Amino acid sequence: MDESIYLDELRDPLIIAEGWMKNGKNVAIATVVETWGSAPRPAGSHLVIDAEGNFHGSVSGGCVEGAVVTEAID
């Protein structure tokens, strides 16, 4: 198993989301479930967003990621 593909707890969006929730923040989690063509992020990638618009991780790039953050805040 290639251990280099796993993120440590300072970079893993799901661990960060868990910490935010323990601190009383409302959290949304976006996950890439399928890709095709030349996708910037692989399936399984996560982006966590809190109610204030803070986010960590990535599910895409550019305007797609901005749209995901906006929808999560709404």
Residues spanned by the domain of 52: 3-73
The confidence score (pLDDT) of residue 19 equals 95
Residues 6+ apart with CB under 8 A from 43: 32, 33, 34, 35
Looking at the 3D structure of the chain, how many domains does it have?
A: 1
pTM of full prediction above 0.75:
yes
* Residue 47: its H or E element: strand 46-50
| Mean pLDDT, the chain cut into blocks of 10 residues (74 residues total) | 61 93 96 90 93 93 88 90
Backbone phi, psi, residue 57, to 5°:
100, -165
CA-closest candidate to residue 56, choices 69, 67, 44, 70 = 69
Asked if 13 and 44 count as a contact pair (C-beta separation under 8 A), the reply is no
